[in-house]
Amino acid sequence: MVSRKALGMGCDCPFDSDELIFAAQQTLSISECELLRNEASSLLSTGEQYVYTLASTVREVAVHQLPGALEWFNSQGLPRLASLAALCFPSVVSDPTELWVYDALIINYDADSFELPHTPVHRDSSMITLVIPLASQHEYTGGGTYIEAIDQTITLDQGCALIHASGLRHGGFPITSGKRWVLAVFLNPTKMPLAEHGRRFHNRATWIAQTLYGEVLGRRGRAPEKHVLDERERERLEDELRECYAFALEETGGNDFEIFVNVARHALKEKKPEEALLLLQRAADLNPREAIVAIHKGLAYEQLGRLRDAFDSYRSAAHLNPRNPRGRLNAVELCHAYGAASVLGETSQGAADELYRFAEELHAAGELK
């Protein structure tokens, strides 16, 4: 049970129940799991990869790249999984045959190839997500799907299925040894629900912002790589960006914290830190556990010259998400740029000790030279 508010869809949310997470036993047979992972492993061994999650700590291939897996998926896998999705979410799926595949991936988490292989917390660009482990739990340690709204990691054995609304923020929890394989399937209904329009406006705004400013997520003191645009095109995109953000907020009823963060990010680009702080407080009210909100608060405080408040925000971000180095790095870089004494002032020894610990952790991880 998860409040539908976690989806950020507003009053037009098509899910009519707070039952948004399901587990199904033995959805795929052991032999089906082996077929999928073996073919994926063979393709990965050639150096071929598919880029979908953009996570640098996993490897993935698309089902459409694998002839055997694709034949199985079209004939057996999709009908079975679509029927399962319809059973779980009848308000979204009236007919399983009306579901289409946004994408289907086989993801490999390999502790021998990456340090703490995982996928960051995110939302999927679909309505329904299914995640099916293709390896037995005794083949790796750690792993599972972390669901932010319930602050829990769900672990299932080989062939079982986790089904959840794609709008729930989730991520692949790190493994510490062995190899984990999962099949991830993303499904959409043929008729897009009204509530999805807000997310589409948001996606468009995100693309425009990246075109204008480059992709910078809570980084301080670094100039992003920008696309070369003439003044007329830049003004047109800036106007469209504001419109898309406004439509996204309207369509979601102000219930999506990520939109507030991105509008605040745009305000910071325009050197409007007071406006950004108001927007970030709205985001924090909706999602108090998200580190990226605290990181952007720190950036706003920096623009206002409130250096100690900026440090405390970065410090808070580091505590909220220890796996994301950005809070620690921003705190250390802030003190390096202005001097630790200027930032911390008359402070407790605890803040200074934590600054030193942040620097040591970043050095050990190769994030700071």
Q: How far apart are CA 303 and CA 332, in angstroms?
A: 17
Q: Measured in Å, how far apart are the chain's first and last C-alpha atoms? A: 45
Q: Name the more confident of 148 and 40.
A: 40
Nearest to 37 by CA among 123, 122, 140: 140
Q: What pLDDT digit, counting tens, does each position of 269-325 carry? A: 889 999 999 999 999 998 888 899 999 999 999 999 999 999 999 999 999 888 778
Domain residue spans of the chain = 4-189, 196-364
Length of the chain: 369
Q: What pLDDT digit, counting tens, does each position of 151-187 carry? A: 899 999 999 999 999 999 999 999 999 999 999 999 9
Q: 87: Cβ–Cβ under 8 A, 6 or more apart, which residues?
A: none
Rounded to an integer, the average pLDDT of 129-146 is 96
The per-residue pLDDT of the chain, averaged, comes to: 89
Rounded to an integer, the average pLDDT of 251-272 is 91
Q: Give yes or no for a contact between 117 and 111, defined as CB atoms under 8 angstroms apart.
A: yes
pLDDT of residue 346 exceeding 80: no
- List the CATH code of the domain at 4-189: 2.60.120.620
Q: How far apart are CA 256 and CA 264, in angstroms?
A: 13
Residue 357: per-residue pLDDT: 81
Q: What are phi and psi of 211, to 5 degrees?
A: -65, -40
What CATH architecture applies to the domain 196-364?
Answer: Alpha Horseshoe (1.25)
Provide the strand spans (E) within 58-174.
59-62, 99-110, 119-122, 128-133, 140-142, 145-147, 152-154, 161-165, 170-172
Pick from 169-183, 258-272, 334-348: least confident: 334-348
Q: Provide the b/e sequence for 122-131 (b: ≥16 CB within 10 Å).
A: bbbbbbbbbb
Residue 48: per-residue pLDDT: 82
Domains 4-189 and 196-364 share a fold: no
